[in-house]
Amino acid sequence: MSTRKISMDSLCVKEYKDQRSTRPHQLPIYATSSFEFDSMEEGIEIFTGKKSGHVYGRYGNPTIDTVSQKLADLEAYGTGLNAYGFLTSSGMSAISTIVLSLLKNGDTILTQGDLYGGTTEVFVKVIANSGIKTLFTDLTDLDATEQILLSNRTVKLLYLETPANPTMRCIDILQISRLAQKYGVYTCVDNTFCTPIIQQPLSHGIDFVIHSTTKYLNGHGNSIAGVIIGHDEKIKKQIWTTLKLLGTTCNPWDAWLINNGLKTLSVRMQRHCENAMSVAQYLETHPAILKVNYNGLPSHPHHDIAKRQMKAFGGMLSFEINGQLSKVIQILNKLKFCSMAPTLGDVDTLVLHPATSSHLNVDKARRETNGISDGLVRLSVGIEDVRDIIQDLEQALR
């Protein structure tokens, strides 16, 4: 029987392989949910891990893996560690995936009270349902933290965020990692506010770093994703298993957007830091401002800790307007240049009013004891000409 050419109907269906091109100069987006094998033997080798290769998009993809490794290399830069990275579908899924990889029913997370709101919520409303408890304490109080580790042997993870939102309180990363090592407890730092350009927790002995790459790492406000970075090879397999089974993998399009953002991360961060310092100094002398929370100001209570563990002071700050809520709202409504958007780390300057947004559900007394008054405003200082940012604040405060 002579073989017939495939029909026109089938030709529509068939994928045309492009093997004619020279190598792409820039990372392509691999929009494919699965990968082909040349032979059964090759398939078996890849499935059994004898040969590296991709199988199915939820398990990994060349675009995603390339960006994950770049982020791991940045976090581990200069430490001599062989770090790995896993890109996730969001910062939140990076957090749930690492916690569910490390902890089990009966274990406890020890953390601070002023975490990113979503993190507190996922710990107490979702992770708690798996029998994993969360204990909140003041991690700047090392004696109190050690007392808890001494008396509660169910603590398996010390989870921290420094500087914390929106008061920029800092936790001493080196001291916490030493304590954790003494008691055999894992450590994880949410490094979203700093990026590895400013702070490298792995260099202070931390086990895992997570990010919402949605913020500075992408930098352009056009993707939602996260990353988990570690260097413990034994745990790597467990994280991969959790990730692929929960399906919290990132998608190649968002990975590609992060890749674009990373090219300018270093220059962006430098400009964010310079601009934030100028804005902080301007606000500190303004008569309508009661207080400025910026790690770069010697007046910040944690300026010294920040100087020890941060290479620069970042682009985030908050300040307290002297006045009632109605006056604060009136002032913020006058801003024309700065945008009102509930995110951070974009190239443009963003304003957020914690009392009426991120901290809306925290009762007023508790809010105020944590330094979050009705007058407190958070600023994610952008990379524009700083004179335009200050001019806008000036006219609004007038």
Check: CB of residue 278 under 8 Å from CB of residue 298.
no
For the four alpha carbons of 282, 317, 139 and 230, in that order, the dihedral sign comes to: negative
Amino acid (1-letter code) at residue 65: D
Tell me which of 65, 75, 114, 190 binds ligand PLP, using CB under 6 A. 190
Tell me which of 30, 86, 116, 186 binds ligand PLP, using CB under 6 A. 116
Q: Which of residues 296-315 bind ligand PLP (CB under 6 A)?
A: none
Question: How far is the C-alpha of 269 from the C-alpha of 151, rounded, in Å?
Answer: 41
380 is a contact residue toward ligand PLP (CB under 6 A): no
What angle, 0 to 180 degrees and rounded to 10, lies between the N-to-C axes of helices 233-246 and 91-102? 120
Q: Are strands 108-112 and 133-137 parallel, antiparallel or unpaired?
A: parallel
Q: Which is nearer to ligand PLP, 43 or 118 (CB)?
A: 118
118 is a contact residue toward ligand PLP (CB under 6 A): yes
Residue 296 DSSP label: T
Q: Which is nearer to ligand PLP, 165 or 289 (CB)?
A: 165
Out of 65, 84, 114, 116, which one is annotated catalytic?
116
Alpha carbon 119 to its chain centroid, in Å, reads 11
Name residue, tokens 């202070």.
204
The phi and psi torsions of 150 (rounded to 5 degrees) equal -70, -45
Tell me which of 92, 262, 283, 390 binds ligand PLP, using CB under 6 A. 92
Amino acid (1-letter code) at residue 48: T
Question: How far is the C-alpha of 234 from the C-alpha of 275, rounded, in Å?
Answer: 42
Q: Are strands 226-230 and 208-212 parallel, antiparallel or unpaired?
A: antiparallel
215 is a contact residue toward ligand PLP (CB under 6 A): yes
Out of 190, 207, 254, 392, which one is annotated catalytic?
190
Q: Which stretch binds ligand PLP (CB under 6 A): 5-13, 166-174, 211-219, 288-296?
A: 211-219
Q: Which stretch binds ligand PLP (CB under 6 A): 26-34, 186-194, 255-263, 326-334?
A: 186-194
Q: In what helix (H) or strand (E) does residue 369 lie, and over which residues does it extend?
A: helix 364-369
- Number of residues in contact with ligand PLP under rule CB under 6 A: 15
- Cβ neighbour number for residue 386 with a 10 Å cutoff: 19
Tell me which of 63, 68, 90, 218 binds ligand PLP, using CB under 6 A. 90
Q: Which is nearer to ligand PLP, 108 or 192 (CB)?
A: 192
192 is a contact residue toward ligand PLP (CB under 6 A): yes
Indicate if 388 belongs to the active site.
no
Q: Which is nearer to ligand PLP, 116 or 123 (CB)?
A: 116
Residues with a known catalytic role: 58, 116, 190, 215
Interface ranges with ligand PLP (CB under 6 A): 90-92, 116, 118-119, 161, 190, 192-193, 212, 214-215, 224, 226
